[in-house]
Structure 1
Amino acid sequence: MNKVKCFLLCLLVFTVVSCNEKSEIIFHKSHEPSRQSIPFSDAVETEDFLFLTGQIGKDHSTGKLVEGGIAAETIQTIENIEAVLKHHSLSLDNVVKCTVILSDINDFKAFNTEYIKYFTKKPARTTFAAAGLAANAKIEIEVIAAK
């Protein structure tokens, strides 16, 4: 067999083996004892990424939304995200994508004032408003972090 045919055969075999290998997907329960029975994963891990469930401004030690409006809820939401990332040995610097849901688009400026203090790497972001967030929250943020 000539070198070109051998190379092409090796390339084909490598491609088939690589395509047939499945990445492991890990569905993580929450590290918070009070959130162990939630009906979804706190984070889902693949080979390259960690997908976090949406977080709201709930203080998990009290089980209640923090008081103080959109600014306080934004801070608590991001601190909740930080806690999950830290549990998986990551930080906000690993975040590559944020999806932000506001209950009132008029809160955008106040939210953004707090957001930019934490996400200094400027991950890609989508922000929109939707009525009726969980627990009557003013904000929910979900993130994807690169490992």
Structure 2
Amino acid sequence: MKSRLLIFTLIILTNFQSCDDDKSEIVFHNSHEPSRAEAPFSDAVETENLLFLTGQIGKDHKKGELVKGGIEVETKQVIENIKAVLEYHNLTLDHVVKCTVILKDINDFKTFNSVYTSYFTKKPARTTFAASGLAGDASIEIDVIAVKL
């Protein structure tokens, strides 16, 4: 009876230990941009091989203001901001597997899409919708999920 109990205990302990080994750490990364150091959110959150980036708007972080010129210019700035965060984590746009795009005006879709497709040549999965009242009075916001290989 004692040997059965010992074997059963060893099996349980082994299973618990292997469960602990399977746990992945979640890392909440601060921004690489000094102007965003006090933001109430993480610039990126990493778990296992995924990096979840916070939404980006067309803000020029060096000037601290939204770029001027409409949806085309804002879309370029948004994607450049995304590229900067990815590069900080040694990734590129080619590592992006999912994009969520929020447009202030769905009528901007065609212009946005022409800029977007010039950057995202691998064609990650994407969701696009319109909503009013984006942060900073932006015309567009994009968040992405990237894979660390």
TM-score by length of 1: 0.88
Question: 2:141 maps to which residue?
Answer: 140
Question: 2:98 maps to which residue?
Answer: 97
Identity of aligned residues (%): 70
Render the CA deviation track for 1:119-146: whole Å, top value 9, x for unaligned: 0000000000000000000000000000
How far apart, in 2, do the equivalents of 1:115 and 1:49 lie? Answer: 22
TM-score by length of 2: 0.87
Question: 2:111 maps to which residue?
Answer: 110
SS at match of 1:50: strand
SS at match of 2:25: coil
With over 3 angstroms needed to count, the CA separation of the structure-2 counterparts of 1:16 and 1:112, relative to structure 1, is same
Question: 2:53 maps to which residue?
Answer: 52
With over 3 angstroms needed to count, the CA separation of the structure-2 counterparts of 1:14 and 1:113, relative to structure 1, is farther
Deviation at 1:19, TM superposition (A): 3.6
Larger radius of gyration, structure 1 or 2? 2
How far apart, in 2, do the equivalents of 1:120 and 1:81 lie? Answer: 15
Residue-pair matches, total? 137
- For the pair 1:86 / 2:74, whether they are aligned, the reply is no
- For the pair 1:65 / 2:66, whether they are aligned, the reply is yes
Give ranges in structure 1 of 5+ residues lacking alignment: 1-11
How far apart, in 1, do the equivalents of 2:25 and 2:50 lie? Answer: 11
How far apart, in 1, do the equivalents of 2:118 and 2:19 lie? Answer: 41
Question: 1:30 maps to which residue?
Answer: 31
Question: 2:9 maps to which residue?
Answer: none
Question: 1:77 maps to which residue?
Answer: 78
- Following TM superposition, where does structure 1 have runs of at least 4 consecutive aligned residues deviating by more than 6 angstroms? 12-15
Give 1:96's aligned amino acid: V
Give 1:68's aligned amino acid: G
How far apart, in 1, do the equivalents of 2:14 and 2:110 lie? Answer: 51
